[in-house]
Amino acid sequence: MTAKVSDKHMRVARRIIQDMFAVKPGEVVALTADDGTDPEITRGFYEAAVEVDAKPLVLQFRKARNNGEAGMADWPAAAMEAALKHADVWIENNEAFTLYSSMWERVLEANERIRYNVLAGSSIDSLERVFCDFDISRMARIIEKIVALAKQAGRVRAKGASGTDVTFDLDPTHVIDFDSGDFSKKKFGTAPGYVNLVPKTGTMEGRIVFDMIMHADLSQGGTVEFEMRNGRITGYGGSHGHLLRDYVEGFDEENMRKISHMMIGLCAGVRDLSWEIVEDERIWGGIDFGFGHTSPLDMPPHGQIASSHFDGISTRATIWFDDVLILENGVFVHPDIKDDAEALLAEYEAERKA
C-alpha cells in the first residue's frame, strides 16, 4: 500500500474511518475488495487506518458472478469468514457484495463487536457525495423524528413522480433501520442518509414504476414497472421490464418475488440519479424498494431467505404514515421535520461552496 493516494480519496477515507467509524488504535479494520473495486479507495482506507494506529487487513478476491448467497460458490468464503469474525470494522467495497449471504449472516451473528458497512464498489465521487459535507447530528435528529412517526403508524402509502403508488402495513416486530453516519458502535451499517421500513409480510399492494433499478440500465431512458399483490411481484411492465422478469424468474424462488424493504432517502448530497445503486438508494426525497433476501436482523426471527437481493428507486416521493403527510413530491413537509431538513440542505450547499 505504497502508491500515492489522491487528496479526494484521503478526504473520503478519513471521513469514514476516522470520523464516522471512530477507529481506535489497535482495532482491526478489514477491507474487502474484488475486481470491481477502485484500488485507490482501498489504499485510502488502509492509510486512514494506519494514521490512527489501527491494523488494516485487506482481503482481495475475484469478483463473484452474483450477489448474496448466489455468490458463495465464487468466494474463498471459509477463509474470509474466519478472518472477519475477528475484525472490529469491516468495510465491504467489493462490487459483487456478500451482504445477506450465509457467510455474512454468520460473521455478523458471531462477531459481537463488528461495525460493518457495505459500499458495493462505489466510485470515489459517489462516496464523497454520500459521506461528506453534512452534519451527522442534524441528520440524526431528522431520522429520530421519522422513526418515531413510523413507530406510531400502522399503514404506509408511497407514491413516486413516475407513477409509483403502493400501500402496505407495518409490523411492529420488524426492525426500523437507519443510518445517520455514526458507525462508532456495533452495527450492520450501510451508507448514511435513510430510514428503512420492512413491510408486514403479504400486505404490499399497488404499482411501482422505477426510475433506476439494478439489472436494467435506465440511464438512457426506458421504464421498469412491477405490479404488487399480497407483497409479491405479480407482473412486469415497461420497456425494460423483461430484463427484470428474466432475472427474477431465473431464480425460480418465491421469495425473490417478494418485497423486502422500503427506504426513504435523506442524503443531502444526492439530488439526482448517479446510476450507482448505493448512492441512488439514498436520493433526497426518494424511495428505494428492495426485493428478495431479508435478514433475520431486520425481519425477526427467521427473515425472508432467498438467493439474492436487488433494489430499485422511485424519485420525488410522496409518503403518508396512516393519514399523516411526511413527504410531498420529494420535499419533507411534516412540521417536526421540515425545518431540520431545510437546514441540512442549506448547510450541505454551504460546505460544498466553502
pLDDT of residue 201: 98
> In this structure, are 162 and 260 located in the same domain?
yes
User: Which residue has cell 403479504?
Assistant: 202
Domain final residue, candidates 121, 155, 186: 121
Please report whether residue 2 resides in a domain: no
> In this structure, are 184 and 320 located in the same domain?
yes
CATH number (domain holding residue 66): 3.40.50.2300
Task: Give how many domains the chain has, as a whole number.
Answer: 2
Q: Where are the beta strands (DSSP E) in 238-354?
A: 259-265, 287-294, 304-314, 318-321, 324-328, 331-332
The model carries a pTM of 0.90
> In this structure, are 153 and 108 located in the same domain?
no
- pLDDT at residue 119 greater than cutoff 80: yes
Please report whether residue 304 resides in a domain: yes
pLDDT of residue 2: 60
User: Which residue has cell 421498469?
Assistant: 224
pLDDT digits (tens, 9 = 90+) for 160-172: 999 999 999 999 9
> In this structure, are 210 and 288 located in the same domain?
yes
The percent of residues in the chain predicted with pLDDT above 90, rounded, is: 96
> In this structure, are 169 and 73 located in the same domain?
no
> In this structure, are 258 and 348 located in the same domain?
yes
Please report whether residue 252 resides in a domain: yes
> In this structure, are 324 and 292 located in the same domain?
yes
Q: Say if residue 4 is exposed, middle or buried (CB neighbours under 10 Å; 0-12, 13-18, 19+).
A: exposed
- pLDDT at residue 13 greater than cutoff 60: yes
> In this structure, are 103 and 144 located in the same domain?
no
3-state DSSP assignment of residue 109: helix
Enter the C-alpha cell of residue 258: 417478494
Please report whether residue 1 resides in a domain: no
Amino acid at 338: K
pLDDT digits (tens, 9 = 90+) for 20-52: 999 999 999 999 999 999 999 999 999 999 999
CA distance 174 to 88: 26
Q: Is the peptide bond before 301 cis (omega within 30 degrees of 0)?
A: yes
Please report whether residue 127 resides in a domain: no
pLDDT digits (tens, 9 = 90+) for 82-113: 999 999 999 999 999 999 999 999 999 999 99
pLDDT of residue 4: 86
> In this structure, are 238 and 312 located in the same domain?
yes
> In this structure, are 44 and 152 located in the same domain?
no
> In this structure, are 151 and 71 located in the same domain?
no
CA angle 231, 236, 242 (to 5 degrees): 140
pLDDT digits (tens, 9 = 90+) for 289-301: 999 999 998 999 9
Per DSSP, the residues of 188-248 read: EEESSSEEEE-BPTT--EEEEEESEETTB--TTS--EEEEEETTEEEEEESTTHHHHHHHH
Domain final residue, candidates 91, 121, 151: 121
pLDDT of residue 189: 87
Domain final residue, candidates 97, 121, 145: 121
pLDDT of residue 188: 87
Please report whether residue 128 resides in a domain: no
Distances (CA, A) of 352 to 195, 269, 342, 346, 349: 24, 9, 16, 10, 5
Residues paired with 287 in a beta bridge: 264, 314
pLDDT of residue 350: 92
pLDDT of residue 1: 57
CA gyration radius, the chain? 19
Q: Where are the beta strands (DSSP E) in the chain?
A: 28-33, 55-60, 89-92, 115-118, 155-159, 165-169, 177-179, 187-190, 194-197, 205-210, 212-213, 224-229, 232-237, 259-265, 287-294, 304-314, 318-321, 324-328, 331-332
CB 139 within 8 A of CB 266: yes
Question: What range does the domain containing 332 cover?
Answer: 134-353
> In this structure, are 114 and 139 located in the same domain?
no
CA distance 298 to 87: 22
- pLDDT at residue 354 greater than cutoff 80: no
Please report whether residue 253 resides in a domain: yes
Please report whether residue 347 resides in a domain: yes
pLDDT of residue 186: 85
Residues 6+ apart with CB under 8 A from 130: 122, 191, 192, 193, 267, 269, 270, 278, 279, 282
Q: What is the mean pLDDT of the chain?
A: 96
The percent of residues in the chain predicted with pLDDT above 70, rounded, is: 99
pLDDT digits (tens, 9 = 90+) for 184-231: 988 788 999 999 999 999 999 999 999 999 999 999 999 999 999 999
